[in-house]
Amino acid sequence: MDATLKIGGSLAEEPARLRALCRELSEMARNHRITAVPGGGRFADVVRELDERFHLQNTVAHNMAILAMDQYGIFLSSITPGSRTTCTLDEARQHSEAGLIPIFLPSRLMSQADPLPHSWEVTSDSITAYIAGELRSEKLVLVTDVDGIYTADPKDNPAAELIQEISVADLSTLDARTSVDRYLSEIIAKARLDCYVVNGRYPERVRAILKNELPRCTRIRA
Amino acid sequence: MDATLKIGGSLAEEPARLRALCRELSEMARNHRITAVPGGGRFADVVRELDERFHLQNTVAHNMAILAMDQYGIFLSSITPGSRTTCTLDEARQHSEAGLIPIFLPSRLMSQADPLPHSWEVTSDSITAYIAGELRSEKLVLVTDVDGIYTADPKDNPAAELIQEISVADLSTLDARTSVDRYLSEIIAKARLDCYVVNGRYPERVRAILKNELPRCTRIRA
């Protein structure tokens, strides 16, 4: 697999831009073998709310959060031409070989393999990284609604600067609340993934990464 | 089956009351063969929001809304002692025979049988009525966060009165926006279900219905 891309849930807040991204992904799938993995979006927010109010068991919250990714994946597939939802690694490989874009619904694989801790430190970032590893992806691309990882939260701090490149060791000690989950660095290190965090509101940046260029984004070195 | 009960998603807004209801349901399952079917709750609201913003195909929205019921069902099971999630009618019968409370996750059955129109006129009310029919339930109980069906919306109109009993024919012509979905009357009539709309914030009312008493609620005559 050339790349496994997480399509962040927050991108659904801007329909026109998300549709443009999904159209672009279909185009990219003609020249690159790629697999898309959905974020959890507002479905995962509902799980968080229920967890806050009911103090769910970790495993229950974990499984519900993964089902939230299935939900968002079904939605993404409905707006992505040439996409196919799939639950298996083999089928993902077949679809991407055929120039289609598989959208991976992770709940079945995650309940069978159960490879990650059941906690909120594991979100769709880590789950996508795990799938990228299983698919032997050359690249892991976390497509989100910000330009990458910043030195501080850019919404609160106008002095925050985009980190263009960071080692996985530095990422794991980074104190600032970043746009990626806390468990990600462990999987990137283990699977030796070449990882990028990029703003999906600018599809050309995603395309540039697939073409081995380095657009505005954060690159995480394994 | 003595009764199939829909547990409305809005009940999750009051954790202590929902927990009390779920504990009561476990108690009731010792003396009555009952099956619970989840509403969609805030998960279904997220589907509605996506539908409004992206104008989804009806079938996509329908399938996502049903998956929202699975989500809420997994949650309900985690707070209901002696409950078991299930996807099949046979297993639901077995669990309820054993004094357990099956929580029916409808996505598999609904995708296989696909018996209902794909529109927002079909919600978890109609889906629960369909399952009640398949289980040959004596009663269908829609457990919600209001006392029953009113002559007008009681939140807007202080003169609104609770309808204690209504025929299914009258329900289908009722103009007021009611607390049940628009397709329900068709299924109730077809399956000749004895149907109740009751406030789950008062579990004793649910228990009364199972004991063939008539508490404060709306009864719909098939």
Sort out which chain A residues have CB atoms less than 8 A from B64's CB and list them. 71, 74-75
The tens digit of pLDDT for each residue in B65-95 reads 999 999 999 999 999 999 999 999 999 999 9
Cβ–Cβ below 8 Å for B67 and A71: yes
A70 to chain B: closest CA residue: B67
Q: Does A57 touch chain B (CB under 8 A)?
A: yes
Between A49, A63, A74, which is nearest B74 by CB? A63
pLDDT score, position A177: 61
For chain A, the farthest-separated pair of C-alpha atoms sits apart, in whole angstroms, at 47
Sort out which chain B residues have CB atoms less than 8 A from A56's CB and list them. 75, 78
- Band (pLDDT 50/70/90 cuts) for residue B173 is confident
Cβ–Cβ below 8 Å for B15 and A53: yes
Q: Does A50 touch chain B (CB under 8 A)?
A: yes
- Band (pLDDT 50/70/90 cuts) for residue B176 is low
The tens digit of pLDDT for each residue in B18-31 reads 999 999 999 999 99
What are the tokens at B189?
Answer: 């009539």
Sort out which chain A residues have CB atoms less than 8 A from B43's CB and list them. 43, 46, 71
Sort out which chain A residues have CB atoms less than 8 A from B47's CB and list them. 71
- Walking along chain A (222 residues) 10 residues at a time, the average pLDDT comes out as 97 97 97 97 95 95 94 97 97 97 96 90 94 97 95 86 93 76 90 96 98 96 88
Q: Does B14 touch chain A (CB under 8 A)?
A: no
The tens digit of pLDDT for each residue in B92-131 reads 999 999 999 999 999 999 999 999 989 888 899 999 999 9
Report long-range pairs for B166-172 (Cβ below 8 Å, ≥24 apart).
Answer: B166/B218, B166/B219, B166/B220, B166/B221, B167/B220, B167/B221, B168/B220, B168/B221, B168/B222, B171/B220
CA angle A173, A179, A185 (to 5 degrees): 40
d(CA A39, CA A11): 10
pLDDT score, position A175: 67
3-class state of residue B203 by DSSP: helix
A65 to chain B: closest CA residue: B71
- Band (pLDDT 50/70/90 cuts) for residue B177 is low
Answer whether residue B175 shows pLDDT above 70.
no
Average pLDDT, rounded, for chain B: 94
